[in-house]
Amino acid sequence: MSNEIDAIIHDIVADVFSKNGTGWETNSKQPQRANGTGVEPSRVVQLVGANTIPPAERTYTLYPYIPQSEVTWLEGAPRCGKTMAAIEIISRITNGTPFVNGEPIEQANVAILSSEDSVEYTLIPRLHAAKANLSRVSFVKVTVADEESQIAFFSDLTAIEQRFREANIRFVFVDGVFAFLGVRDSSSYTEAYTAMMPLVAMVRRLNVGAIIVRHTRKSGGPALDSGIGSTGYTALGRSTLTVAVNKADKNQHIFAHAGVTGAPTGASYTFRVEGVMLPGFVRSTGVAVWGDKTDVTADEALAQVSVASHEDRNLAEEILLMTLVEPMPAREIYAKAKEQGVSDRILRRAANKLGVYIERRGFGEGSVWYPPGWIPEEHSGHSGHSGHSGHAGVAHVRNVRNGRNETNRPDLSLLEHKFEIDEETEKWLTLAVDDDVDGH
């Protein structure tokens, strides 16, 4: 019953957004903002008779796994092979090659949006290794004043849709979607709908297939409700694919279908990642090679994933990118990470890697974390704690033992390169110079 209600809500809201709920006009081929004044255009409410609407049959990029006009989630733990499986499917789409189960795939143009992997060093070599038709693959790139900039759906989605129409894009792959959404509270059901609906509406207008990658929570749960963030994100998808490493054979991966609206659940398959030598390369590039059908379900595949495989910086980094879109108190960030099963230690290391600036606000007040790339103007001459510039950074912090200010605190995470520190020791060292974790 819950899934049926979610489906009804999804269809109603998507229909509103796909017309003029986002402030877009959809009567023209090239979507435009309704006006350039920032004034909300007048809205017209109508009743449309059901007898005037012809029935339409659902089409699929890959039946029953990837429906067109809807979002398909591709979920799994960090480094479990999600992108490998996706690249192999993209290769089949660009070549019009049937899937491993014999299901036909129509040849089509593909667009890739990625904030996770390097295009030159990771994605292009993998596409070559998978023998994709590169003339049918495009990457979305945004520039500001001739400098490459982060994709932001709030401001870029209209132009992205226009480019997709011009290039006749029929399939979209998104990796690192939360970096593009700019949500403030990833656990908010309301914000999930607000942030995602323009993207869902675009997918519907273009009638394209779309796979969006999402990490799974450390705490586990049913495959249909295991992705990080609010269940609102899950509800906005119409199909969920799960990828996991086979615990019984670490070299084998499981590709499973958690479910889809309006069609039977697809079969599960195994695959392995094998190395391919590209011309001029000295090291091999991985490519997914499909194996046999398996009886392992998506729920079973997730249940047998070891907890240790989730305690990874990649998951913590995605949580930070989802949550830290404006300065936030450290306590709130730690609390949100704990909801997803991420330890304080892993979160601090991820913050260091991303270049999160941490500012002290006075004794007993805790600290404030700034989004990656942000430095308060008054501290622009300093390097942020956790390495704002990508190297060993220093923080302007207050020493909790004697109240003096320090500007030469070393990055504790770098000590692991010299010798091993256990979690308790690291926490004690952190508390000795900073009270970021005070009160939790």
If one counts the domains in the chain, the total is: 2
| pLDDT higher than 50, residue 433 | no
| Structure-token match 């089949």, residue found | 92
| pLDDT higher than 60, residue 386 | no
Query: What pLDDT was estimated at residue 431?
Result: 45
| pLDDT higher than 60, residue 51 | yes
Average pLDDT value over all residues in the chain:
79
Query: What pLDDT was estimated at residue 314?
Result: 75
Query: What pLDDT was estimated at residue 7?
Result: 58
Does some domain include residue 53? no
Task: Let me know how long the chain is.
Answer: 440
Mean pLDDT, range 412-421, rounded to an integer: 41
Q: Which residues fall within 8 angstroms of residue 382, CB to CB, at 6 or more apart? A: 375, 394, 395, 396, 407
- 102-147 pLDDT, tens digit per residue, is 999 999 999 999 988 999 999 999 999 999 999 999 999 999 999 9
Strand-pair partners of 38: none
252 and 393 together in one domain: no
290 and 350 together in one domain: no
180 and 204 together in one domain: yes
* Domain limits for position 225: 59-303
Q: Are 257 and 268 in contact (CB under 8 A)?
A: yes
CA–CA distance from 286 to each of 83, 94, 272 (Å)?
11, 19, 9
Domain's final residue, options 303, 321, 340 = 303
Question: Could you tell me the pLDDT band of residue 39, with boundaries at 50, 70 and 90?
Answer: low
231 and 166 together in one domain: yes
Report how far Cα 2 is from the mean position of its chain's Cα atoms.
25
Local structure of residue 358 (DSSP, 8 states): E
171 and 298 together in one domain: yes
317 and 391 together in one domain: yes
Question: Could you tell me the pLDDT band of residue 409, with boundaries at 50, 70 and 90?
Answer: very low
227 and 127 together in one domain: yes
Query: What pLDDT was estimated at residue 40?
Result: 66
CA–CA distance from 307 to each of 213, 334, 362, 410, 415 (Å)?
20, 19, 37, 31, 25
Query: What pLDDT was estimated at residue 15?
Result: 55
Local structure of residue 65 (DSSP, 8 states): T
Query: What pLDDT was estimated at residue 36?
Result: 41
291 and 347 together in one domain: no
Query: What pLDDT was estimated at residue 254?
Result: 96
Mean pLDDT, range 49-74, rounded to an integer: 97
Does some domain include residue 42? no
Among 30-44, 144-158, 321-335, 367-381, top mean pLDDT goes to: 144-158
Question: Could you tell me the pLDDT band of residue 374, with boundaries at 50, 70 and 90?
Answer: confident
Q: Are 100 and 257 in contact (CB under 8 A)?
A: no
287 and 323 together in one domain: no
CA–CA distance from 192 to each of 51, 170, 238 (Å)?
33, 25, 15
CA–CA distance from 371 to each of 135, 179, 317, 319 (Å)?
36, 11, 11, 12
- 184-220 pLDDT, tens digit per residue, is 776 787 888 889 999 999 999 999 999 999 989 876 6
172 and 225 together in one domain: yes
Q: Are 185 and 178 in contact (CB under 8 A)?
A: no
| pLDDT higher than 80, residue 20 | no
Question: Could you tell me the pLDDT band of residue 253, with boundaries at 50, 70 and 90?
Answer: very high
DSSP per-residue letters across 269-331: EEEEEEEEPPTT-SS-EEEEEEEEEE---HHHHHHTS-GGGT-SHHHHHHHHHHH-SS-EEHH
| pLDDT higher than 60, residue 401 | no
248 and 356 together in one domain: no
Give the CATH number for residue 217: 3.40.50.300
Domain's final residue, options 276, 303, 330 = 303
Does some domain include residue 46? no
225 and 244 together in one domain: yes
Tokens of 345: 């230690």
Which of these ranges, 10-19, 232-241, 409-418, has the smallest mean pLDDT?
409-418
- Of residues 79 and 58, more confidence is placed in 58
Which of these ranges, 12-26, 90-104, 334-348, has the smallest mean pLDDT?
12-26
Nearest 5 degrees, angle CA 383-CA 368-CA 192?
A: 115
Query: What pLDDT was estimated at residue 27?
Result: 39
Query: What pLDDT was estimated at residue 347?
Result: 85
Tokens of 387: 């390495």
3 state SS of 110:
strand
| pLDDT higher than 80, residue 244 | yes
Question: Could you tell me the pLDDT band of residue 397, with boundaries at 50, 70 and 90?
Answer: very low
- Of residues 3 and 279, more confidence is placed in 279
CA separation for the pair 336, 353 (Å, rounded): 19
Question: Could you tell me the pLDDT band of residue 354, with boundaries at 50, 70 and 90?
Answer: confident
CA separation for the pair 368, 157 (Å, rounded): 31
DSSP per-residue letters across 226-259: -BSS-HHHHHHEEEEEEEEE-TT-TTEEEEEEEE
Domain's final residue, options 281, 303, 325 = 303
Query: What pLDDT was estimated at residue 405?
Result: 36
Does some domain include residue 22? no
